A and B are shown apart, each in its own frame.
Chain A
Amino acid sequence: MSLTLVEKDVLRLRRVLVELLERSESDGCVVCDSGGYVIAQEGRGTQDPLLISALGAGVFAASRELARILGEDEFSAVFHQGEKKSIFIRAVNREVLLVIIFSNTANVGLVRLYAAPAATEMRVLFDEISAPDRKIEHPEKAFVLTREGDFFRAPGAS
């Protein structure tokens, strides 16, 4: 099973994210899945989206375990406050997370406020993306491997 995005999905996601960043006055955001895959990114402050996704997914998964210990179903959001920058992570659904990065000149209340409708809009999109009967327009008929040999080599190795 794989999560598959086409051009149309990417454009829809981008529209939601750009609007979120403008309204909440945040710097950047990354959408990732609970396994740490980067699904989308927008704005500044997300120079290393792969790492932000891996760690963000890890942090949120850990918070889910904490919630479970406390008898909660889950914490719907996690907030990390720094001196200059902060991070707000919100669950879109069980599998997808929205990570928002903002400087402390922005207001965490605004981020929280606008993250909620953005997450709702994305939930609808991801429900459509993961629907079992979804038809993908213009898909590749097949993926083709580029070579028979090694994909990774250490310099100097034969």
Chain B
Amino acid sequence: MSFINFANREVQLKIVYYGPGLCGKTTNLQIIHRMIATDAKGNLTSVATSKDRTLFFDFMPLVANALEGYTTRFQMYTVPGQVMYNTTRRLVLRGTDGIVFVADSQWSKMAENVESWANLEENLRLQGDSIDNIPYVLQFNKRDLPDVAPSHYLDFLLNNRGVRRPSFSAVATDGTGVFETLNMVARLVLNRFVKSYARKESKESELVLV
């Protein structure tokens, strides 16, 4: 659910990084925070355990000059990947406008990837939504590790719905693929926002004509 403030000429959109534990969701945000220009970012806040595992979420606001005449604020969140924190994942997913699903490319993590994907679908269903109605991209992370599945296999495993979504190979620790993923999800979310607003407007005009 986006938020439009016509008085302040501001649009807010929410993007959530989802995926199994230790797949690199927090690392994605840390790299974006480290590399992006200062005027485009706010603080990166992590609600983490003493062992640096995400407990609640990570949060970072980004500002982009994306819509003419409007300040566009993206609110970037990660969910805690560990299985036991499902309630928290559901809370963070509320009202999201776009999703990045980060998969761990290692063969040994395939079951966790599939389980996390199914968990995402289920959590969206519980809030009356569907993955098919939300802009999302997939990121196949940790491509630098030795024992990884080929990208086409990960696509076969996770990106196998009617419409294939964009997927990116990444090594989040050195920044490879991080900005490609971010820019693609931002574009999908913005396109969806612009289209849905135009549709709503045209519906209202029709009502006036009648």
Contact A50 B197 (CB under 8 A): no
B3 within 8 A of A: yes
Count contacts between A and B, CB distance < 8 Å.
149
A127 within 8 A of B: no
Question: By the criterion of a CB under 8 Å from any partner CB, how many residues of chain A are at the interface?
Answer: 45
Interface size class of B (residues with CB under 8 A): 35 or more
User: With A and B bound together, what is the CA distance between A61 and B85 in angstroms?
Assistant: 14
Q: Known: A54-B75, A142-B197. Contact between A153 and B179, CB under 8 A?
A: yes
User: With A and B bound together, what is the CA distance between A2 and B200 in angstroms?
Assistant: 10
List residues of chain B with CB within 8 A of the CB of A152: 32, 36, 40, 62, 64, 179, 182-183, 186
Classify the secondary structure of B's interface with A: mixed
Classify the secondary structure of A's interface with B: loop
List residues of chain B with CB within 8 A of the CB of A141: 201
* Chain A interface (Cβ < 8 Å from any Cβ of B): 1-7, 9-11, 33-39, 48, 50-51, 54-55, 58, 61-62, 65, 135-136, 138-147, 150-155, 157
* Chain B interface (Cβ < 8 Å from any Cβ of A): 1-8, 11-12, 14, 32, 35-37, 40, 42-43, 45, 47, 56-57, 59, 61-62, 64-68, 70, 73, 75, 77, 87-88, 91-92, 94-96, 175, 179, 182-183, 186-187, 190-191, 193-194, 196-198, 201, 204
